[in-house]
A and B are shown apart, each in its own frame.
Chain A
Amino acid sequence: MHATSTLLTPSTSRQPRSYRWRVVDIVIASVIGVASGLIFIVWNQAYNPLSGLLTPLLPGLQALLGGGWLFAGVLGGLIIRKPGAAIYTELLAAVVSTLVGGTAWGATILVSGLVQGLGAELVFALFFYANYRLYVALLAGAGAGLALAVNDLLLWYPGSAAPFITIYTASSIVSGIVVAGLLSWLFMRGLARTGALSRFAAGRSSRTRV
């Protein structure tokens, strides 16, 4: 920007999309990661009793609860809209839940966070970080759900029988679509309406100019 370049960009024109993270991108992604990490902790505590209820119904169905650990990446991706946002927020949320709450999954939570974040990230990348409509959010949720299933089945339930694998995978994808995809998208839209996202494209696209 030059000092004497006055005005002149009509603000209806699309700004060139920048892939470089601004400070506010980094900090808000961190904040989303941290807040999500706290919600993960609540979820960690609810998981054991709830999965104890679901598993006897149909083994593998407990993966329906997996979405509670997947929304961070999708939400981060939807709000920040920069490459790596989904991975960063999901990973940070995982780290926070380990550091603050102390989980049974130990250091492997880093791997889980990374893999699950990657599941959502790949979907956003497929759309060149330019499309953040509802169906993309749902797909990103599904991607995270699939990543969760692959990660869990390899790490925690190796040697499972085929029906278990199928049900577990299907359940985590469904959970990813509903909790991580739909809920994150609704949250993103609601956040935009509160004006909290005024420094982000996510906060401007859904608001009329005032």
Chain B
Amino acid sequence: MSLLAPAQGHRAIFRINPVAKLAAALLLAGVLILTIDWVSAAVALACELVLFFWAGLSLKSFALRTLPVWIAAPTAGVTTLLYGQSAGTVYWAFGFVNVTEGSVELAIATTLRILAVGLPSVVLFVTVDPTDLADGLAQVVKLPARFVLGGLAGLRLVGLFLEDWRALELARRARGIADGGAVRRLLSQAFALLVLSIRRGSKLATAMEARGFGAPGRRSWARESTFRGRELALVGIGLAVALLSVGVSVATGSWNFVLT
């Protein structure tokens, strides 16, 4: 889990301000989402797969972390293949299913697009430390500090919540109600988790207030969050990949704006 144990290391990627990673991932996603064609997605994906060599991940952890993307992309692709807009030759039709020349093309584009959008954000987020991200969001992006820090403090409770969840599971077995009714038990467990988490949250809020959190007056920052050359470079790379894929797509006449 990246949040509880962000990947540690000394390569440049680890020191880049998380805000830049977020910006690069969002920029890329924002541009790729405008079009639905296989060319732009394929170009972006090709560039990304090369860039991933500098991402600070071993092949094994790359595979492990990005596994959900590799599963979801073809799944969405198949949905589009079967139920996407029909066009051109009909290959197979059965009930709602309509596999056509057009839906095959859409399916390929959808699969590639999810990979091109999903992979870089997973890879970039693996090396993000939540504390650094919060510092960046508050100091660089200037989001309201109370909300950013409140969110960060909430995040720290994740580990406790996971322990609670496990204890709740064991306790339900001890209470004699773990033999059946999975859905009901899950709901009761989710409810108990909410009770416990709100209790913890209330105590945490008091502890934070007792340390002057939310007090009027200007807050200072113990850690400085900076946005300099290497951050600009990363955003620049994201922009370059986005522009290149758009350029190739338009040049080959494949650009297909999503709202048309």
Type the 1/0 row for B49-60, where 1 means its CB is closer than 8 Å to any CB of A: 000000000000
Which B residues touch A23, using CB under 8 A?
146, 150, 205, 208-209, 213-214
With most chain A CB atoms within 10 A of its CB, the pick from B96, B114, B157, B206 is B96
Q: Give the CA-CA distance A32 to B155 in the complex, in Å.
A: 10
Interface centre among A101, A156, A163 (most CB of B within 10 A): A156
Q: Tell whether, in the assembled complex, residue B202 and residue A159 are in contact, meaning their CB atoms are under 8 Å apart.
A: no
A35-B193 contact, Cβ under 8 Å, with A28-B202, A100-B2? yes
B202 touches A187 (CB 8 A): no
| Contact, CB under 8 Å: A104 / B71 | yes
A59 partner residues in chain B, CB cutoff 8 A = 79, 82-83, 96-97
A10 to B114, CA, bound (A): 59
A130 at the interface (CB under 8 A from B): no
Query: Looking at chain B, what size class is its interface with the partner chain?
Result: 35 or more
A48 touches B157 (CB 8 A): no
**What distance in Å separates the Cβ of B102 from its nearest Cβ neighbour in chain A?**
8
Partner of B205, one of A27, A58, A106: A27
| B contact residues around A58 at 8 Å (CB) | 96
Chain B contacts for A154, CB-based, 8 A: 258-259
Q: Is the CB of B157 within 8 A of A34?
A: yes
Most chain B beta-carbon neighbours within 10 Å: one of A51, A99, A191: A99
The answer to whether A155 has its CB under 8 Å from any CB of chain B is yes
Number of interface residues of A (CB under 8 A): 59
Within 8 Å of chain A (Cβ to Cβ): is B236?
no
Q: How far is the CA of A99 from the CA of B1 in the complex (A)?
A: 8
Distance (Å) between the CB of B53 and the closest chain A CB? 19
A contact residues vs B (CB 8 Å cutoff): 21-24, 26-35, 38-39, 44, 48, 51-52, 55, 58-60, 62, 88, 92, 96, 98-108, 110-111, 154-161, 163-164, 183, 187, 190-191, 194, 196-197, 199
